[in-house]
Structure 1
Amino acid sequence: MRVITFLICFFGIHLVVNAQNKPNIVLLFADDAGYMDFGFQGSKVMKTPNLDKLAKSGVTFTQGYVSDPTCGPSRAGMMTGKYQARFGYEEINVPGYMSSHSALKGDEMGLPLDQKLMSNYLKDLGYKTAVYGKWHLGNADRFHPLNRGFDEFYGFRGGARSYFAYKNPTGDRKMETNFGQYEEPNHYATDVFAEKAVHFIERNKEHPFFIYLSFNAVHTPMEATEADLAQFPNLTGKRQQLAAMTLALDRACGKVLNKLKELGIDRNTIVVFSNDNGGPSDKNASNNKPLSGTKSNHLEGGIRVPFLMSWPKEIKKKSRFNYPVVTFDLLPTFYAAAGGDLKDLKDINGVNVLPFVKGEKEGTPHDILFWKKETRAVVREGDFKLIRFPDRPAELYNVPNDVSERYNLATQYPDKVKDMYQKLFDWEMTLERPLWLLKRKFERYDVDRMNQYRKGWEPYPENLK
């Protein structure tokens, strides 16, 4: 009996120590933010002291990308660790935008159930899991977060809603607490999401946890509190609204970061901050400078995003990583940090970036990267980026030398254009057909938006060759 008691105690202590060694993971994810609209990115207008402090505590990815320039597909890629077009999630899933002949419509558009998510993998490793805020990966019950590896949910299933309580909410705008129970926020939603996350941390501080804090800030509608607006008396219109909403976003992130520090668990917590796509400058007055383009197109302003990672126990302060990384790298990175065997991750495209960040591996995590939206597509190989358009010849840019994509090199490097074009086509042949399709008019809208927010097609200067 003494031997049995000893073994029970031994293994119990082992499990507790092992659990405590696993890092907590907090993913702070913004919506539609501009590349330049944070202090740590160089903004002199926005007030983001908490995120600026987070940037100093770890690594800034100077070439951080998403796998798609729109909300739903970007999130699908991040949560599965792979190109979402591989399983047909190529288009944004917004009911009412779909072609009348689309294969799936309405609530049927969601992340396929045969895809295992970040939450599933971490739950398998013993993590408590929660998501707060915007879901946008399917409205039908079978796509619900609680059916996709999350233990707790407070948020809304769709892509956008008011930051204040609705009197009579309907459809995917309703604020839901767990499954099928509804609770509208009693104050500004950005703050409420953070408060829910803080309560989750307090209840699970003795256990490894994963929180996906999926803000809808700073997506439209442009709504801010009077107190936050008052912090920007020199701004007007949407730009003032955006600054106030960004201030609230930063404050919400600060609540979570401060709680981690208060509980003494900040050193062994991985915190990531990023954004789902480039800022839609024409919709929310966001600023993507020095990048060309906006949300929904494949210029850098549509796919390059602010991207921070902090883990004080493992990552050096004030680090910078200058090679391309993608948000779908987060799944293998989190899984490896949590003690998982990367061999368990079947058929993903993401890479564990920690060895690169810590200097244990040299070079770039990705030799080649792809993006696709119907006819429009991109391949990035090394420093070169080829963009294929539906209405003009392909263009070629050297991204590190020309981050604003002003100087088309296609005529200077015709063989490279041909080679990269072929690689793009070969990759496309590995993809599934899209599960749903947008009305054609939205493709025209995206191309027109790109033309409005690009720097121009200029001859390449001799001194930059």
Structure 2
Amino acid sequence: MKKTLNIISHKYPTLIVFIFGVFSYVYSQNQPNIIFILSDDAGYADFGFQGSKEFKTPNLDKLATQSIRFTQAYVSAAVCGPSRAGILTGKYQQRFGYEENNVPGYMSASGTIGDDMGLPLDQKLISEYLQEQGYKTALFGKWHMGNADRFHPTKRGFDIFYGFRGGARSYYEFDENNISSRKEDNMERGFGTFEESKQYLTDALANETVRFIEENKTQPFFVYLSFNAVHTPMEAQPKDLKKFPSLKGKRKILAAMALALDRACGKVIDKLDELELRENTIIVFTNDNGGPSDTNASLNKPLGGTKANHLEGGIRVPFLMSLPNQYLKNTVYEDPISTLDLFPTFYHLAGGDEKQIAGLDGVNLLPYVTGKNKSRPHETLYWKKEVRGAIRHHDWKLIRYPDRPAELYNLAEDEAEINNLATAHPNIVKELYKQFFEWEVSLERPRWMLKHQYEKDAIERLDKYRN
């Protein structure tokens, strides 16, 4: 990958002439195909294009040279389910009571329990909007938006589903030697048709995606390739483990799982090239939250923190966007964005008017990355889980805790969040507290919660892995 990249931001007006041409081209295209690839629990630093020297991700590294790489991309939650709910709705999930807790949760204010907890049915998903725009839609892999039948992907805008309803499962076929009693672990094809794959699951999801692309190459399609890789359980193929003789333990297994993930992404991209679809396809690759360093040995450096907390390592993620015709390839976009922005960006590319959809918190990224709009996509971003919360306003970030005073960081100077400036800038702390509270009181009460023990565990994980 090249060491020198173009930089896109409001600070570089010399690109404007080129960029306006690109902007006009992108907006004049026929409906592009949309491939959205989401990895699970990967470390911020565990890709070659993110600087890793240990892991091998050649296909994603190549995609990075054909993409805009966003250096400050954020998820709306530090754990899997709520993050995905935000992506699918384009809204802060707390607005409809889906706070930073996975389903099923422990306690429900509405009286629902267990599998009946899920992404509320009154929320319309990007898949449903794209269906209305004439897209063939498919989800391959992890759902995690509710186990009950009424939450099923095929009832939420996906024409095709091959995957599992839960949040994690084995990468190998269930049999007498690999047993699960949880129905949400079962692989389904469509609705209620169970079909275990004899392939390693990461490979199976790529192969199903390739088949879908082949079968739908003459019409616009939307693929949500929702990998469970590299989430636990830590299960890698022997052939991939052999590629990392110098690594040991969980780190070795994770590297092998990441290699399989990369190979699967490459298979999908190669199929687009083979069918000459790449020039009219947008590809986005990102991750659902920060890496959980304690459970899978992922690395989030130079960021501090991990999955489940609001330090940068829990909420900032790798993010690549390859536009049709690979315009703006091998470039870097430096201003903060959110995965909430995917919904309006995809909908706009599909021919819809995102401004007509009420309640979106995400924005269409195209005017920003092409330079038509030189301001930041977001002046302010928010995160909240019960008492814990965070707000980023411009480059100032305030983190609220249940067991200690709030912390304040200047991310422009300290992205590792080492130098707490709360004492030095009490007025900024006060203003951010007020701004956060104004946002917080606009939200619904959480529909379900977890045992308080999990909050204690999250704080302990934060202290152990914060730097």
TM-score (norm 2): 0.92
Taking the aligned partners of 1:331 and 1:217, their CA distance within structure 2 comes to 23
Structure 1 consecutive aligned stretches of length 4 or more whose deviation exceeds 2 Å: 91-95, 99-105, 312-315
CA contact (8 A) 2:108 2:448 kept: no
- 1:243 is displaced (CA, Å) by 0.3
- 1:88 is displaced (CA, Å) by 0.3
Name the SS for the 2:325 alignment partner: coil
CA contact (8 A) 1:99 1:440 kept: no
* 2:157 aligns with one of 145, 149, 161: 149
1:341 has 2:350 as partner: no
The residue aligned with 2:450 is: 438
Equivalent positions of 1:51-450 (< 5 A) are 51-95=60-104, 98-99=106-107, 103-167=111-175, 169=180, 170-313=182-325, 315-450=327-462
- 1:102 is displaced (CA, Å) by 7.6
- 1:92 is displaced (CA, Å) by 2.3
Amino acid at match of 2:223: I
Larger-Rg structure: 1
- 1:184 is displaced (CA, Å) by 0.7
The residue aligned with 1:39 is: 48
Name the SS for the 1:386 alignment partner: strand
CA contact (8 A) 2:103 2:145 kept: no
- 1:94 is displaced (CA, Å) by 4.1
Which residues of structure 2 form unaligned runs of 5+? Answer: 1-26
Deviations 1:312-339 (A, max 9, x none): 4263111111011110100000111111
1:48 has 2:48 as partner: no
Taking the aligned partners of 1:45 and 1:222, their CA distance within structure 2 comes to 18
Name the SS for the 2:279 alignment partner: coil
Change (3 A) 1:140 1:290: same
Deviations 1:48-92 (A, max 9, x none): 011011111010010000000000000000100010000000032
Name the SS for the 2:355 alignment partner: helix
CA contact (8 A) 1:134 1:160 kept: yes
Deviations 1:110-166 (A, max 9, x none): 000000101011111000000000000010001000000000000000001000000
Taking the aligned partners of 2:342 and 2:162, their CA distance within structure 1 comes to 22
Amino acid at match of 2:44: Y
Amino acid at match of 1:156: F
Taking the aligned partners of 2:185 and 2:339, their CA distance within structure 1 comes to 26
Taking the aligned partners of 2:347 and 2:381, their CA distance within structure 1 comes to 22
CA contact (8 A) 1:20 1:208 kept: no
The residue aligned with 2:8 is: none
Taking the aligned partners of 1:125 and 1:339, their CA distance within structure 2 comes to 7
Deviations 1:181-208 (A, max 9, x none): 0011111000000100000000010000
- 1:396 is displaced (CA, Å) by 0.5
Name the SS for the 1:139 alignment partner: coil
- 1:343 is displaced (CA, Å) by 2.7
Amino acid at match of 1:271: I
CA contact (8 A) 1:91 1:436 kept: no
Taking the aligned partners of 1:99 and 1:342, their CA distance within structure 2 comes to 35
Name the SS for the 1:313 alignment partner: helix
CA contact (8 A) 2:67 2:326 kept: no
TM-score (norm 1): 0.92
* 2:37 aligns with one of 15, 23, 28: 28
Change (3 A) 1:314 1:240: closer
CA contact (8 A) 2:142 2:164 kept: yes
Moved more, 177-186 or 339-348: 339-348
Taking the aligned partners of 1:345 and 1:329, their CA distance within structure 2 comes to 13
Taking the aligned partners of 2:124 and 2:421, their CA distance within structure 1 comes to 40
Taking the aligned partners of 2:295 and 2:111, their CA distance within structure 1 comes to 29
Name the SS for the 1:21 alignment partner: coil
Taking the aligned partners of 2:377 and 2:108, their CA distance within structure 1 comes to 41
Taking the aligned partners of 2:199 and 2:43, their CA distance within structure 1 comes to 25
Taking the aligned partners of 1:251 and 1:344, their CA distance within structure 2 comes to 39
Amino acid at match of 1:85: Q
The alignment covers a number of residue pairs equal to 437
Change (3 A) 1:207 1:100: closer
Taking the aligned partners of 1:171 and 1:186, their CA distance within structure 2 comes to 18
Taking the aligned partners of 2:28 and 2:273, their CA distance within structure 1 comes to 19
